[in-house]
A and B are shown apart, each in its own frame.
Chain A
Amino acid sequence: MKREKVIQVAGLTKRFGDFAAVDAISFDVYRGEIFGFLGANGAGKTTAMKMLIGISNPTSGQAQVAGFDVFTHAEDIKKNIGYMSQKFALYDDLTVRENIRFFGGIYGLSRERIKEKSDALIEELGLQGAAHKLVGALPLGWKQKLSFSVALIHDPKIVFLDEPTGGVDPITRRQFWEMIYKAAHQGTTVFVTTHYMDEAEYCDRVSIMVNGKIEALDSPKQLKEQFQAANMNDVFLKLARG
């Protein structure tokens, strides 16, 4: 069965002066896949992701996301992707419902659709009691789950998650990954960066970036065999230490 490629990257590079933050990386991501994008701090993960979501211009190379070129059709890419950044980026001074309505509105959803989506989403997250509370007053775990749901509000083909579970408790992380699985099951491709190696095990395939280059890319099982490691943690340490 030939699988549909939703992200195609070839020789993608971003330079800041002499420094190549992302050094000619190449990979493909398939539809419905959970793709783990790993690397130490400063390895270039976030820079690479920013090029793919169209908010940072690549220096050279090629990349297509959701069938559109990052150089020429960045705005078309944006219609087809969702993004959740490292930093919580919903409005603290708006309520849960207002945040959903705002982002639904700027993605061009109809009024009825926004209403429907808001109700479904609030119910799913168990936020019925907090729907009219300001987002700033919510605990971090709830905020993260809410931003993930908002990133999916326009049913994007691909969702990009930049360290989505940073700083949340193990139970919330577990629930978060259940949400990721659910989204993937419904056909959304998930592109996720993380520092938690147990989370890497949940991914279908994993790439590991070291100093701007992709040093390994395969399923967690294959990677463990290849590096003769007991778990992903050891694989990561072997690679990152060089």
Chain B
Amino acid sequence: MKTILYIIQKEFKQIFRNKGMLPIIFVLPLLQLIILSNAATFEVQHIKFGYIDGDHSATSRALVEKFDASSYFEVLTDFPSEVQASAAMLRGEVDVVLNIPPYFERDLQKDKHQSLGVTINAIDGAAAGVENVYVTQIIQGFNQGLRVDLQQITDQQVQAMAIETIPLFWYNETLNYKTFMVPGILVLLVTMITLFLSGMNIVREKEIGTLEQINVTPIKKRQFIIGKLFPFWVIGMGLLTIGLIIAKLIFDVPILGSLPLMYLYTSIYILVVLGIGLFISNYTDTQQQAMFIAWFFTVIFILMSGLFTPIESMPKWAQVLTEFNPIKYFVEVMRMVMLKGSGFMDILPQLSKTLLYALIMNGLAVWSYRKTS
């Protein structure tokens, strides 16, 4: 036990003495949290909107005004013809073009029916889908207003009303993307910093030759590894704390669930990451190699974590693979506890899988660390 304390003391001294490393550990991740949480959003706004008004009637102007009033659209241009509209879209000057045909108002009143042309730049398919939804919503809203007007004009005739759905968004009523992203990005920070630091730490001692000196002492493998990993565990928990404070103060993310539960889960989760880091450390000879391998896994883990793309929409085989992704569990737990207020029993599946993962990875790490070659 005393031996472990000597190692921990030494590690902390080295970490806090490394003036180049300290900002990397504490400042960069927090900048990342603030920048990424603001930047990584799926919201589509400031859509460049153009229209071809072939009708020039009160109705067509009212429709364009609807778009103008929407905060999503920036009404830019009134194109005289379709040719010019297409050219503008080709140059990337407009994203959406609405084509109002001639006699729109007249036909609408006469036939109670008329069609509009909408052209959307779909190079970014996801954004195009969202834009389509916005356009449809505005036209539907306009349509309903028209119908009411028409009803008043054309007597009290009973009409079949369209069925309308009123969605309720639970746990994040306003569909605020920051609320959704902040817990996830916090997960990334805690993971990346602890993985890279632990992955590079033992390799560094290999490089400078001090590991050999350690290996000729009677120190026990497990003492050395616990002593090495404990400081990074503390740093990981510290990062979580700072991140949660920022989430609350800057982003005002609701923290519905229990903080001790979040800390309990994170404390086990960090053990998984440290185990992986150490395992990498044992099989590499230079910090560069360790860095590359750590990157490789981080990128895969992040992209398959459900942070940016929903796991439900991945192909079946990919969904099976995500079962082995520790980040996935952490993202799930953080979102569940922070946004839904989930309790211990709710996260028990994730918790037990993570615990098992931690045991396996640290077992492998201790096993693969060799004092004798």
Which positions in A face B, CB cutoff 8 Å?
53-57, 74-76, 78-79, 81, 83, 85, 87-94, 98, 101-103, 105-108
Contacts and interface: CB of A to CB of B under 8 A. Distances in A.
Interface in B14-58: 14, 17-18
Contacts of B5: 105
A105 B210 CA distance: 16
A54 B14 CA distance: 28
B71 interface: no
A98 B13 contact: yes
A75 B372 CA distance: 10
B3 interface: yes
A66 to B, nearest CB: 12
A92 B204 CA distance: 13
Contacts of A102: 6-7, 9-10
A107 B219 CA distance: 7
B217 to A, nearest CB: 5
A11 to B, nearest CB: 20
Given A54-B372, A56-B372, A78-B216, A89 B6 contact: no
Interface string B230-248: 0000000000000000000
B209 A78 contact: no
A106 B219 contact: yes
- Enumerate the 9 nearest inter-chain pairs by beta-carbon distance, A residue then B residue, closest first: A105-B6, A89-B213, A87-B209, A83-B216, A78-B218, A79-B218, A89-B209, A102-B10, A55-B215
Nearest to B5: A105
Contact of B216 (A55, A57, A91, A98): A55
A61 B315 CA distance: 57
B209 A88 contact: yes
A54 B218 CA distance: 10
B4 to A, nearest CB: 10
Nearest to A110: B2
A91 B217 CA distance: 15
Contacts of B219: 106
Contact of B6 (A74, A79, A101): A101
A98 B6 CA distance: 10
B157 interface: no
B214 interface: yes
B19 to A, nearest CB: 10
B371 interface: yes
A183 to B, nearest CB: 17
Contacts of B208: 89, 92
Contacts of B371: 54-55, 74-75
Contacts of A83: 213, 216
B14 A93 contact: yes
A91 B10 contact: yes
B212 interface: yes
B373 interface: yes
Nearest to A88: B209
A3 to B, nearest CB: 26
A78 B13 contact: no
21 contacts: A55-B373, A57-B373, A74-B372, A75-B218, A76-B218, A78-B216, A78-B218, A81-B216, A83-B216, A85-B209, A87-B209, A90-B213, A93-B17, A94-B14, A102-B10, A105-B2, A105-B3, A105-B6, A106-B6, A107-B217, A108-B2
A74 B212 CA distance: 14
Nearest to B215: A55
Interface of B: 2-3, 5-7, 9-10, 13-14, 17-18, 208-210, 212-219, 371-373
B231 to A, nearest CB: 14
Contact of A57 (B9, B14, B17, B372): B372
B214 to A, nearest CB: 7
Nearest to A111: B2
Given A85-B209, A98-B10, 5 more contacts: A55-B372, A88-B209, A90-B210, A92-B208, A93-B13
Contact of B3 (A54, A85, A108): A108
A49 B234 CA distance: 39
Contact of A85 (B213, B217, B372): B213
Contacts of A108: 2-3, 218
Nearest to A76: B218
A76 B372 CA distance: 13
Nearest to A92: B208
A85 B212 contact: yes
B209 A106 contact: no
Contact of A89 (B3, B212, B372): B212
Given A89-B209, A91-B10, A94-B10, A54 B216 contact: yes
B372 A106 contact: no
A87 B208 CA distance: 8
A15 B328 CA distance: 46
Contacts of A78: 216-218
B29 to A, nearest CB: 23
A46 to B, nearest CB: 11
A74 B215 CA distance: 11
Contact of B212 (A55, A76, A91): A55
Contacts of A88: 209
Nearest to B18: A93
Contacts of A79: 218
Contacts of B7: 102, 106
A170 to B, nearest CB: 25
